[in-house]
Structure 1
Amino acid sequence: MDGLDLLKKDWNKEKQHDKLSAKDILPMLHKKSSSIVKLLFYISIAELFFWILVNSIPYFTSDSYRERLDSVYSDSTMMILTIFSYGIILLFIYLLYKSYKSISVTDSARRLMENIIRTRKVIKYYVLYNLIMVGASMIIGIYYTFQNDPNAIKLIEKADNTGLILLVVIITLVTAIFTLVIWLFYKLIYGLLLKRLNRNYNELKKLEV
């Protein structure tokens, strides 16, 4: 057997090995992707219960907090905003569950890639929505506080122009810092899982080439 025949034989073995590798890699990536989306689904449920607890515990343990909250929610706008916000979280949970089910029954690399892209978009828009809602809710909450809280009203009445400017700056900084903390939380929790999901996507893309 000459050198050319040996080269052809080695090339055919390498080609067969690549096919077997791709055949073995796909189920692994499928399993990993399914596990990641399943974990995202569980985290979203935990987040829902977390926000419910954050809002419920002070309400039942502090009379002053309950009075302030009742005064704020006496306006239907805040009630509608809260219901809408929880509705979005429930919708997000449903979409993640749907993505998990879709990935679980996926039998091809291309369909798995499409489901991963869809999952990334859902999380991206959900995080963006939550950041907007955090900022908007804080601004609206502060507005209603200065409209209904007697102590806050007195503070506004006594403040001069410099005091009002300082107050606006403080409120802006507090809102920005709180929004940043929430963004870092999402970056830590969802960001790490999305990176793993992106790695799976890139591996699947290699298999498709």
Structure 2
Amino acid sequence: MDELDILKKDWNKEKPEHKKLSTQDIYPMLHKKSSSIAKTLFYISIAELVFWILINTITPYFYSDEYKTNLDTLFNEHLFTAITIFSYLVIILFIYLLFKAQKSISATDSAKKLMESILNTRKIIKFYVIYNLVMIFITFLVAMVYGINHDPKISSKFSHYSDKQLFFIILFSMVVIGVFMLVIWLFYKLLYGLLLKRLNQNYKELKKLEV
């Protein structure tokens, strides 16, 4: 049990006339913990950017010539470059918004503003995760459709299938995409979820102090 939990336990035992002092003691700790969580989220976002840069830099060296040819078939060089740059810009924007949220939490001296900053931080993380899941779905879908229409090997295989077989192939592909998206969602749930849960607990405690 940390110092904040001890104070909250004592705060609940105290009489109303003595709670003001305890509230003044609890708020700085909630503020400090929220600021620390926001800072951790910011550092994680930077680590994620570095991770994707390393992946995109190192991975191509392990591609076979056939795989590189297939990539060129599915995505022309300019389109692939544009998608990569756009993805980096989104991550950089996400880092910037988290940085602003972290600074807002650290600088505020008002419980109401701190609550607003916590809510804002939660929204930023939520929208970022949703964006990633949507982009994964669109990328898989576009790659599949583009491959069927423009890759001779894939097109020749699909041309021999009946409508029923095509339906089950598409259904199976959607299930695979769904499973992959679920794995990514669980990854972000683990990466950001625990910290957001703690941030949400701080928010609830601040609401109690505001009453």
TM over 0.5: yes
* Cα distance per residue 1:35-63 (max 9 Å; x no partner): 11111111112222333334443322113
Q: Which residue of 2 aligns with 1:108?
A: 110
One-letter code of the match for 1:51? Answer: W
Which of 109, 116, 120 in structure 2 is aligned with 1:118?
120
Checking the alignment, whether the CA contact within 8 Å between 2:49 and 2:91 is kept in structure 1 is yes
- 1:1-209 to structure 2, matched below 5 A, reads 14-15=15-16, 17-63=18-64, 64-74=66-76, 76-209=78-211
Checking the alignment, whether the CA contact within 8 Å between 2:108 and 2:114 is kept in structure 1 is yes
Checking the alignment, whether the CA contact within 8 Å between 2:74 and 2:151 is kept in structure 1 is no
Shift in Å, 1:77: 4.5
Q: Which moved more, 1:184-193 or 1:48-57?
A: 48-57
State how far apart, in whole Å, the 2-side matches of 1:40 and 1:155 are: 46
Alignment size in residue pairs: 197
**3-state SS in 2 of match to 1:107:** coil
State how far apart, in whole Å, the 2-side matches of 1:151 and 1:51 are: 30
Distance 1:50 1:148, change over 3 A: farther
Checking the alignment, whether the CA contact within 8 Å between 2:37 and 2:195 is kept in structure 1 is yes
Distance 1:204 1:88, change over 3 A: same
**3-state SS in 1 of match to 2:76:** coil
Checking the alignment, whether the CA contact within 8 Å between 1:58 and 1:65 is kept in structure 2 is no
Consecutive unaligned residues in structure 2, runs of 5 or more: 1-13
* Cα distance per residue 1:139-187 (max 9 Å; x no partner): 1122222234333122112222232122111111111111111111122
One-letter code of the match for 1:72? Answer: L
**3-state SS in 2 of match to 1:158:** coil
Checking the alignment, whether the CA contact within 8 Å between 2:105 and 2:114 is kept in structure 1 is yes
Distance 1:83 1:163, change over 3 A: same
Checking the alignment, whether the CA contact within 8 Å between 2:94 and 2:128 is kept in structure 1 is yes
Q: Which moved more, 1:69-78 or 1:14-23?
A: 69-78
Shift in Å, 1:16: 5.2
State how far apart, in whole Å, the 1-side matches of 2:87 and 2:63 are: 24
Q: Percent identity?
A: 53
Checking the alignment, whether the CA contact within 8 Å between 2:104 and 2:117 is kept in structure 1 is yes
Consecutive unaligned residues in structure 1, runs of 5 or more: 1-12
One-letter code of the match for 1:119? Answer: T
